[in-house]
Structure 1
Amino acid sequence: MIVGALVFVFLIIQDVYSMPNTRREIEKSELSELRKRSDAPQSQKTLDCFDMVGIEGEYLYIPTDNADRTMLCTVYFIANSMDELVDLRIRNIDMPCNEGGLQMFDGWNLGGDVFPSADEHDYPMEDRQFETCGEDSEGVFISSQNVAMISFPNSGRFQLFFRAKKNSRPCHAIAPDSSGEYNLLNYGERRNCSLFVIYPVKMSVIQMSVGDPTTETKLKCFNEPDQLQFLEGNGFDHALMQTEQVLCGSTEMVEVEQEYESVSRDTSNTTFVCNRVGLSIPLQCQSSAVRLISSGETENHVRVKFSKITSSVNECV
């Protein structure tokens, strides 16, 4: 289940969508209520102009009588499993085409940060956006990862059926919970994959083989073509996040945690991390990420476990 107290302020940025320029911020305190409402036991649930959906089912959007018709509405979708896709079937659309229509986006756009990033998605940005409009029109959309979003002018109406679909080759994902486990794999290809968690978390390596499988796992692999990055920040743009640690090499299943020193603060000359010993890395900003960089020369696979931590100070402010 999606935990309500997510820590982002959602800003709707117009550089991706050519729609009305009125925008609104969703406060952190609102997100818990959004999530609670999405769990309401209704056969057909109504959407708000700004909403988040994680429960499969049928939804209806009708603007209220006092709605600001110039407002750009946005609904974020997230599947409850990180190895699923978002499947949207939209019908009975009554949306004027001269106001932008209903636009579907493959991923999330939060505060100008696009996930997955433009340089790491399987498709170019222009192929990640789809639009439908008119009277009694329909749309079918399946995302490339476990998140997607729709944007539309607050002057139309539609019905929508949301379901999750199994992803046979998961790569990028946003965690729907504040704790869990995830596998990152490159499938032997030259590609980058990432997991983002919208919380400060402790990220633990359960098992990994990144780069030369005969090399024991070690720290500070900045110059290696295959590496596992641990990032923290206040958004989804990995280029703007702080690198907390970089690993490479191989280790067996791990059980016991071992302390380490951050590469972004005081460091030691220690390079050996673990052999049948675990590594736990605290990521203390609003957004935590682990990113697998792959050259395509080796089969890379990583299993990580994460759990929410209480951070008294946001180090990335």
Structure 2
Amino acid sequence: MTQNPHISLLHACRTDLEDKAVNIIATNAIDDEVLEILRPEPTTQLEHDENGQCIFVKTEEGVYSYVSPGNTHEVCGLYVIAEPDQFVAFEFEEFDVSCSHRGLLSVIDGWELNGQFFPGTDDHSVPRKDRYHEYCGVTKPWKPFHMSQNVGLIEFRIPGKGEGFRVKVSFIDNHKPCNAVLQRPQGVYTLRNYGRKINCTVSIIFPESIRVLAASVAAEERVESISPPSEKQFVETGIVKECAKRGLKDYVEIKGGDGLDPGQMVVAEDFCGVDSAPSQQKVDVACGNTAIRLVSSGEFDNSVTIAYDLYDPSLESASPSLICPTLLETP
């Protein structure tokens, strides 16, 4: 990609509602509410802007349609983002992408931009080659595509006029989220591994000020005879810095960069330990993208809770831990 990017019906109820609607129609007493439920979902048309650009970022479920205006060789992208505790799913309803016109459509598990992926290729559960699914022709992909996190991408080049596709976007609950892109530049978020041997990252596509509210990373259990067996207590070590350099296998990295892949970002700070008291110190990341990465060996149930807010360089207290070239101020 060369450009920068900045509800489905309840299927379980559909049969009962359709049966009810048939009976109502038979008596010419049609209920408006039932008709509203049975009415086809509205379609959002994806159109090139006045500059011919075609990068679309969508945060809602629904049906999206694209029809090529013709004579365009732009690579377009439908970037979909749900809430952090949801999966994204795609299901094609119509498909017409001519192979002979050099048309191509790719479904990508995650986001891709300028050759970089989120989640990073090193930390994703699916090999990179299996995260791409490419199609052309007039036969729509027969299966739904379920993303591994809250973001997914449909990337396409459709030169043939009148050709295109229609796709249904759905969001599915994810009870143990790992990798996620956060939609808002301010908030509080808890990143956990749920005891798994897995590396999890949250990405915030803004320069951010990060403050650690609580951490339990590589927590050592305290053994005390007075504690009930069902209650685990952990030693409050406080925050320990540079855990990766010490050779520890469980730690948190606060990173920054100008691309999507956390593996290509620079570490502003890394830490581990147990601390239930909010830190008064902030880590300022003056980069286009900020990431918090939790590295877990599977030996501990790790978690870290952060407060994040937009980095404001005009504040007197602003002292960035990391500055990326694109955010360097020029006189």
User: For residues 174 and 103 of structure 2, what CA distance do their matches in structure 1 show?
Assistant: 31
Whether the 8 Å CA contact 1:103–1:150 is kept in 2: the answer is: yes
Which residue is equivalent to 1:132?
135
Which residue is equivalent to 1:233?
257
Corresponding residue pairs, total:
257
Q: How far off is 1:136 after superposition? A: 4.8
User: For residues 301 and 46 of structure 2, what CA distance do their matches in structure 1 show?
Assistant: 43
Which residue is equivalent to 2:154?
150
Q: How far off is 1:237 after superposition? A: 2.7
Which residue is equivalent to 1:175?
182
Deviations 1:263-293 (A, max 9, x none): xxxxxxxxxxxxxxxxx32212111111111
- Secondary structure class of the residue paired with 2:120: coil
**Are the structure 2 counterparts of residues 58 and 302 from structure 1 closer, same or farther at C-alpha, using a change threshold of 3 Å?**
same
Which residue is equivalent to 1:285?
287
Residue identity matched to 1:232: G
The CA RMSD over aligned residues, in Å, is 2.1
Which residue is equivalent to 2:58?
53
Which residue is equivalent to 2:27?
none
Whether the 8 Å CA contact 2:285–2:323 is kept in 1: the answer is: no
Deviations 1:237-281 (A, max 9, x none): 3333221111111112x34x423xxxxxxxxxxxxxxxxxxxx32
- Structure whose CA Rg is larger: 2
280, 293, 300: which one aligns with 1:258: 280
Which residue is equivalent to 1:248?
272
Q: Which consecutive residues of structure 2, in runs of 5 or more, have no partner in the other structure?
A: 7-40, 48-53, 221-234, 315-319, 326-331
Deviations 1:55-106 (A, max 9, x none): 2211111112xx4333322211111x11111111111101123535321000
TM-score by length of 1: 0.75
Q: Does residue 25 in structure 1 map to residue 24 in structure 2? A: no
User: For residues 206 and 121 of structure 1, what CA distance do their matches in structure 2 show?
Assistant: 27
User: For residues 137 and 212 of structure 1, what CA distance do their matches in structure 2 show?
Assistant: 50
User: For residues 113 and 105 of structure 2, what CA distance do their matches in structure 1 show?
Assistant: 18
Deviations 1:2-48 (A, max 9, x none): xxxxxxxxxx1xxxxxxxxxxx424x7xx4xxxxxxxxxx9321113
Deviations 1:162-220 (A, max 9, x none): 12111122111111111122222222222111111111111121221101342332222
User: For residues 307 and 110 of structure 2, what CA distance do their matches in structure 1 show?
Assistant: 23
84, 87, 91: which one aligns with 2:86: 84
- Secondary structure class of the residue paired with 1:134: coil
Q: Does residue 63 in structure 1 map to residue 68 in structure 2? A: yes
- Secondary structure class of the residue paired with 1:217: strand
298, 301, 316: which one aligns with 2:300: 298
Q: Does residue 315 in structure 1 map to residue 320 in structure 2? A: no
Residue identity matched to 1:123: V
